[in-house]
């Protein structure tokens, strides 16, 4: 094995499909570990291909209002979205007034093939929530069940071994992970695992059995009346994956403040001396 030339080994490494398998390969011997973890360019290319292969496109999208939803003000994407995110799908999110009820399907929803939900999968996106705003993220299907994850802009997030942090009125990166070996979802915000989070199970009607979806309901709390552009909830770079993102991928996206297609995971590993 030690006689194999570097070029042949890198050719073999490119056939590895999953990040966990790549990390396991790096533990075979010191030479392989050195070849993998000290080659920033190779890791950048490998993770870029892995993320691209594992992405799942939605086949249907809903983004509309009903009569009870607040109206969007005049908005300027160039000013209200970070420059690193403007090359991706950027959307201002509609929300309901707290005194009205609103069907979540009329707001924002992406539909995916049922196969996405049959094993491990994850979502990644950038989000801006103003003060006194609550987002209810609903994910699921009649066949596989569902979950609702509540993001309250004015609540603090409990990070492991970190101080509590507010998520209100700033851009945050959110990663939602569902492993088929775990009962509950993992929620990551700004590259940190959130140890305490509001989530509960949902049950859907048989009308939803042919599709799986992620939808978002936004509500203004009582006493919130501002519809100024700077207070408008917004989302960018929403992606679905047919596997769970690794913590190095999640932290690289947040640290580099970039999109999934532009993230350089190898640079993050090298600069932070991961796995050394």
Q: Which residue has the tokens 């007034």?
A: 97
- pLDDT of amino acid 78: 67
Mean pLDDT of 163-177: 89
| Domain boundaries of the chain, sorted by first residue | 6-54+265-271, 55-256
Q: Which CATH number fits domain 55-256: 1.10.3470, 1.20.1630, 2.60.120, 1.10.10?
A: 2.60.120
- pLDDT of amino acid 222: 61
The residue among 76 and 129 whose pLDDT is bigger is 129
Residues whose CB is less than 8 angstroms from the CB of residue 177 and which lie 6 or more positions away in sequence, other chains included: 120, 122, 185, 186, 187, 188, 244, 245
Query: Are the C-beta atoms of 249 and 139 separated by less than 8 Å?
Result: no
Tokens coding 200:
């509960």
Q: State how beta strands 55-56 and 234-241 pair.
A: antiparallel
What confidence tens digit (pLDDT) does each residue in 214-266 have? 888 777 766 555 557 677 888 999 999 999 999 999 999 999 999 999 999 99
* Spatial separation of the C-alpha atoms in residues 242 and 185, rounded to whole Å: 15
- pLDDT of amino acid 239: 96
Q: State how beta strands 145-152 and 192-196 pair.
A: unpaired
pTM comes to: 0.88
What confidence tens digit (pLDDT) does each residue in 187-223 have? 999 999 987 777 877 766 655 556 688 888 777 766 5
Mean pLDDT of 24-41: 89
Q: Which residues on adjacent β-strands are paired with residue 112?
A: 212
pLDDT class of 165 with cuts at 50, 70, 90: confident
The whole-chain average pLDDT of the chain stands at 82
Between the CA of residue 261 and those of 150, 201, 227, 256, 276, what are the distances in Å?
A: 27, 32, 32, 12, 26
Residue 72, pLDDT above cutoff 60: no
Residues whose CB is less than 8 angstroms from the CB of residue 69 and which lie 6 or more positions away in sequence, other chains included: 94, 95, 96, 97, 102, 106, 107
Can you give the three-state secondary structure of the chain, one letter per residue?
Answer: CCCCCHHHHHHHHCCCCCHHHHHHHCCCCHHHHHHHHCCHHHHHHHHHHHHHHHEECCCEEEECCCCCECCCCCCCHHHHCCHHHCCCCEEECCCECCCCCCCHHHCEEEEECHHHHHCCEEEEEEEECCCCEEEEEEEEECCCEEEEEEEECCCEEEECCCCCEECCCCEEEEEEEECCCCCCCEEEECCEEEEECCEEEECCCHHHCCCEEEEEEEEECCCCCCCCHHHCCEEEEEEEECCCCCHHHHHHHHHHCCCCCCCCHHHHHHHCCCCC
The residue among 125 and 135 whose pLDDT is bigger is 125
The residue among 96 and 49 whose pLDDT is bigger is 49
Lowest mean pLDDT among 6-20, 62-76, 149-163, 208-222: 62-76
Tokens coding 216:
């978002």
Tokens coding 267:
């640079």
Q: What percent of the chain has pLDDT over 90?
A: 34
Q: What are phi and psi of 241, to 5 degrees?
A: -130, 145
């Amino acid at each position: 094995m030690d006689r194999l030339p570097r070029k042949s080994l890198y050719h073999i490494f490119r056939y590895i499909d999953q990040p966990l398998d790549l990390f396991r390969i790096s533990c075979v011997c010191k030479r392989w570990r050195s070849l993998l973890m000290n080659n920033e360019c190779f890791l950048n290319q490998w993770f870029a291909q892995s993320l691209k292969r594992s992405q799942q496109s939605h086949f249907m999208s809903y983004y509309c209002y009903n009569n009870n939803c607040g109206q969007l003000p005049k908005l300027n994407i160039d000013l209200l979205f970070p420059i690193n995110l403007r090359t991706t799908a950027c959307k201002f999110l509609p929300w309901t007034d707290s005194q009205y009820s609103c069907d979540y399907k009329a707001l924002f929803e992406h539909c995916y093939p049922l196969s996405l939900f049959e094993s491990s999968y994850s979502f990644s996106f950038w989000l801006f929530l103003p003060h006194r705003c609550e987002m209810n993220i609903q994910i699921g299907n009649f066949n596989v069940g569902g979950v609702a994850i509540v993001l309250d802009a004015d609540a603090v997030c409990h990070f492991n071994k970190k101080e509590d942090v507010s998520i209100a009125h700033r851009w945050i990166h959110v990663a939602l992970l569902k492993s088929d070996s775990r009962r509950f979802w993992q929620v990551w915000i700004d590259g940190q695992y959130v140890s305490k989070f509001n989530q509960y199970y949902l049950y859907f009607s048989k009308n939803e059995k042919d599709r799986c979806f992620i939808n978002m309901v936004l509500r203004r709390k009582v006493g919130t009346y501002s519809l100024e552009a700077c207070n408008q909830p917004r989302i960018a770079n929403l992606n679905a994956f047919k596997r769970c993102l690794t913590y190095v991928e999640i932290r690289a996206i947040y640290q580099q403040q970039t999109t999934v297609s532009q993230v350089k995971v190898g640079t993050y590993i090298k600069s932070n001396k991961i796995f050394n």
